[in-house]
Amino acid sequence: MTSSGFDLPPNPARRVLCVGAAVLDTLFRVHSLPTGQGKILPYEMLQVAEGMASSAAFAVARLGGHASLWGAVGHDPTGERIISDLGDSGIDTSGMTVVQGARSAVSTILIDDEGERLIVPFYDARLHDTVRPVTEQEISAFDAVLVDVRWPKLALRTLIAAGKAAKPAILDGDVAGEGVIEMLAPAASHIIFSQPAAERLAGTADLVGTVGFLKRKFAHAFISVTAGENGSLWFDDASGDIRRLVAPKVRAIDTLAAGDIFHGAFALAIAENMPIEEAMRLSSMAAALKCRKFGGRIGAPTRVEVCEALRDWDVRAVSAGKRNRER
């Protein structure tokens, strides 16, 4: 099985803009997540700057793309640490916003021996009070944009500008505040929903039915739902089928940021004009490989690692059914 031309990155590298969360995470590895009051003693700990858009940008850089990040931090030592960490990881942080009088975002995360996690985040609403203008000319310098739901006003401006510039406008459709997805989705060309966000919108746990519902609701966009170890589904606009791809089998140590790595890999694949099924295969493998290492986004694989794994993975997507065209 080949890796479908993804082995060598194009020259020059494709440019992906990621917009949204930048957080300093403190990760604690524990044998099991707490079930009540008391004290729990971790056996491993690290701090890393990440967040949905930040981790996606790191995936782009690891896979051979040029990643830029627009996010906001406070004018504080934590903000300095976030920008420094992300810059040292190969991400262009020149577009980051430093907000006077606001506190940088932080979170504490417990990760158990099965790779599952408990997250306690803090976001200062003042970080996103001011929104920079975004122009079509500015976005024309990129080959694709990816936005998350943490800075909705900037995300919307970026998606709109990408549409005007005829660039892929990709939305990370994670769980968000009331009305945020509905505000952003009309301006997106591609929407990758997390399973919890998709089920919340569709009102059902039936993944095939959920994909059909979301395609009817956002008919203009490519629609996909990622479901962790249960793989991913998407609506095939050419055939009208809903396609399902099983997840690669790995020993999961840490699932934190796996979805973000999926989104970054997908955005780069689309920027490189990869066919949808190959983009989904690449993204699925990148996310799966990430789960083998503790440390959130730092487990993101390199392009060589993903391509080697894809050569040994002979799984293809199958039809999971037709969209229900009624209602």
pLDDT digits (tens, 9 = 90+) for 119-155: 999 999 999 999 999 999 999 999 999 999 999 999 9
Contact indicator for 55, 260 with CB cutoff of 8 Å: yes
320 band by pLDDT with thresholds 50, 70 and 90: confident
* pLDDT above 60 for 2: no
225 band by pLDDT with thresholds 50, 70 and 90: very high
Q: Which fold has domain 15-22+52-72+136-319?
A: UDP-N-acetylmuramoyl-L-alanine:D-glutamate ligase (3.40.1190)
79-93 mean pLDDT: 98
The pLDDT mean for the chain works out to: 94
Between CA 307 and CA 8 the distance in angstroms is 9
299-306 mean pLDDT: 97
For residue 257, the one-letter residue type is A
Burial of 95 (C-beta count, 10 Å sphere; 0-12/13-18/19+): middle
Instruction: Note if the pTM is more than 0.85.
Output: yes
User: Over the stretch 174-220, which tens digit does the pLDDT of each residue have?
Assistant: 999 999 999 999 999 999 999 999 999 999 999 999 999 999 999 99
Burial of 314 (C-beta count, 10 Å sphere; 0-12/13-18/19+): exposed
* pLDDT above 50 for 327: no
What are the boundaries of each domain within the chain?
15-22+52-72+136-319
115 band by pLDDT with thresholds 50, 70 and 90: confident
* pLDDT above 90 for 286: yes
For residue 126, the one-letter residue type is R
Q: Specify the pLDDT at position 5.
A: 62
Q: Specify the pLDDT at position 156.
A: 98
267: nearest Cα among 134, 169, 186: 169
325 band by pLDDT with thresholds 50, 70 and 90: very low
User: Over the stretch 14-58, which tens digit does the pLDDT of each residue have?
Assistant: 999 999 999 999 999 999 999 989 999 999 999 999 999 999 999
Q: Which residues contact 206 (CB under 8 A, 6 or more apart)?
A: none
Q: Specify the pLDDT at position 4.
A: 56
70-87 mean pLDDT: 98
Place of tokens 């690290």: 46
Which helix (DSSP H) or strand (DSSP E) does residue 322 occupy?
Answer: strand 318-322
Q: Specify the pLDDT at position 324.
A: 56
